[in-house]
Amino acid sequence: PRSILLDCDPGHDDAIALLTALGSPDLHVLAVTVTHGNAPLERTLHNARALVELAGASTPVYAGATRPLQREPLYAPHIHGESGVGNVRLPEPVRPVASGVAAQAIVDAARAAPGEVTLVATGPLTNVALALQLAPDLPDLLAGTVIMGGGLERGNASAYAEFNFLADPHAARAVLNAGLNPTLFPLNVTHQVRVTRAREAQVRAVGTVAARTSAAFLDDYLTRLEARDVGERAALHDPCTVVSLLQPDAFGVEARRVDVVDEDVDAIGQLVERPGEPNARVALRASEDAVYAVICERLGRLA
């Protein structure tokens, strides 16, 4: 199996990404590293631990950054509730948080198996940027990097910026320019994988606890957007990253040169294209059917 690290801020959609990864025999989740993001770290850390245990896994869960590199923290309670996963109740975790900090755990895992570990990031990129500060050679150590973030010509947290990149634009900029050549999943592609009542029913019908919990996440998330009259904007962002490792042909990807606005202007956090040599593989097309098929199959494997 392919070894991955999942850096996340669960988060309804991070949670489904994590459960999908844990249900994949062809992936070995070495560690979950947690960041501030959809909710304060205390909440996202609690959710990550609870999800690992719900999946019957013993994956170590590391605490990461409580705040962005430079800006004040930005949370998303209007989308993910104060808890990060809305009103969905998760079992109280019993296993302790792993000792050590997330950024160092990323570096240690990469150094322990050079060229074998893929880093998947579905939250603000603070932990990844800190890992790069600790180990500027991280791009040579990792097998690959997959990131959900940004939006070309569109935002969701401001008129310009996507949430993960707005929440830590300095980290996003550092990560995109570090030589990782990441595969990037911006809003342009994640909005092609919609969350609807029919998809919620499809996931629930899988029947396992992981699938029913995932359906509860979809329901809670969709209900929140519907209450604000923006239900048609419901998109399954973060699971695209994990699914791309399991079924790459579910996505169309193009090499592009991209950057992030990190100056203190209205467009701060915006993903922009630049002329010049490509520095990322940007996913621009998705098959919604293929993405849900993979998720359902993997959630069905978690007893």
- From Ca ion, ligand BDR, none, interface partner of 279 (C-beta below 5 to 8 A by class): none
Measured from the CB atom, is 54 or 189 closer to ligand BDR?
A: 189
Q: Using the rule CB under 5 A, is 168 a contact of Ca ion?
A: no
Q: How far is the first Cα of the chain from the last one, in angstroms, to the nearest whole number?
A: 20
- From Ca ion, ligand BDR, none, interface partner of 59 (C-beta below 5 to 8 A by class): none
- Per-residue string for binding with Ca ion, 228-247, x by CB under 5 A? ----------x---------
Partners of 259 in the beta sheet?
Answer: 272
130: which 2 tokens? 């800190």
Q: Which of residues 27-56 bind ligand BDR (CB under 6 A)?
A: 38
Out of 4, 6, 7, 11, the residue judged to bind Ca ion by CB under 5 A: 11
- Per-residue string for binding with ligand BDR, 107-126, x by CB under 6 A? ---------------xx---
Partners of 188 in the beta sheet?
Answer: none
DSSP designation for 285: E
User: How many whole angstroms from its chain centre is CA 146?
Assistant: 9
With beta carbons less than 8 A apart as the criterion, state whether 182 and 145 touch: yes
Which among 254, 38, 278 has a CA at the least distance from the CA of 176? 278
Measured from the CB atom, is 60 or 84 closer to ligand BDR?
A: 84
> How far apart are the C-alpha atoms of 118 and 55, rounded to whole Å?
21
Catalytic residue among 12, 46, 80, 237: 237
Q: Determine whether 46 is an active site residue.
A: no
Angle at the Cα of 138 from the Cα atoms of 268 and 5, rounded to 5 degrees? 85
Out of 156, 183, 192, 244, the residue judged to bind ligand BDR by CB under 6 A: 156
User: How many whole angstroms from its chain centre is CA 172?
Assistant: 13
Write out the catalytic residue numbers: 237
Q: Which residues bind Ca ion (CB under 5 A)?
A: 9, 11, 14, 122-123, 238
Q: Which residues bind ligand BDR (CB under 6 A)?
A: 11, 13-14, 38, 76, 79, 122-123, 148, 156, 162-164, 237-238
